[in-house]
Structure 1
Amino acid sequence: MNLHQLNTEARAGHVNELNLIAIEGGDYLLEARVNGRAQPLADSQGKRLRVRSVEEARELLKPLPMMSMNLLHWSVQDEMCGMGQHPEEDLKVPISPRSAW
């Protein structure tokens, strides 16, 4: 899904939420939940859309309608030594799609 398609789906009311997923190296990926299904956002070359910060994501999404947005960090418990068996819990924090500055 590209930004134009996201805009169309958002205006139609089909976007449940938008997730900004933190990945290694300080980058973030954008994923829309459309009608309950995950739809990764792609750039103009069809590759996964990466942004460097929450503010860069907000700037990119500024022209689009307001949507529920979350910052998502995957669980790191499975990578930690000696943690034993714990249920995997991702961190999902609601954030404002518009800058607080």
Structure 2
Amino acid sequence: MNLTTLIQMVTSGEAKELELLSLEGGFYILRALTSEGPVTLADDDDQPIRLRSTTELRQLLADVPPVPCMLVQHAVHDEMCGQRDGPIAPLRIPFSLDSQW
């Protein structure tokens, strides 16, 4: 999905929420959650677009209508140490695309 498609999906209501996935290496990947499953924002070569910050995301999505957005961070420490039994849910923190504060 490219940026134009993302804007169309948010405008039409097809994308119910955006997820900004925090990945190892200090970058983020944006996914749109649809009824058919998550769709990743990609470039012209169909490679996931790597974002460096929430500020960069806000600048990229300046023309996107308001939509709920979540920062998603997986609990790497718990996975490495093996302290908990069963599945470990990622940390999901809501944030606004309107402003930093």
Any stretches of 5+ residues in structure 2 without a counterpart?
A: none
State the Cα RMSD in Å: 1.5
Could you state the TM-score of these two structures normalised by the residue count of structure 1?
0.89
The answer to whether the 8 Å contact 2:55/2:100 transfers is: no
Bigger shift: 29-38 or 50-59?
29-38
Task: Report what 2:32 is aligned to.
Answer: 32
Task: Report what 1:72 is aligned to.
Answer: 72
Q: Letter of the 1:75 partner, please give it.
A: A
Could you state the TM-score of these two structures normalised by the residue count of structure 2?
0.89
- Shift of residue 19, structure 1, vs aligned partner: 0.5
2-structure distance, mates of 1:48, 1:56: 15
- Shift of residue 35, structure 1, vs aligned partner: 2.1
SS at match of 1:21: strand
Task: Report what 1:5 is aligned to.
Answer: 5
2-structure distance, mates of 1:23, 1:96: 20
2-structure distance, mates of 1:24, 1:72: 12
Residues paired across the two proteins, number: 100
Correspondence 1:13-92 to 2 at 5 A: 13-35=13-35, 37-76=37-76, 77-80=78-81, 83-92=83-92
Which stretches of structure 1, 4 residues or more, deviate above 6 A after TM superposition? none
2-structure distance, mates of 1:39, 1:74: 18
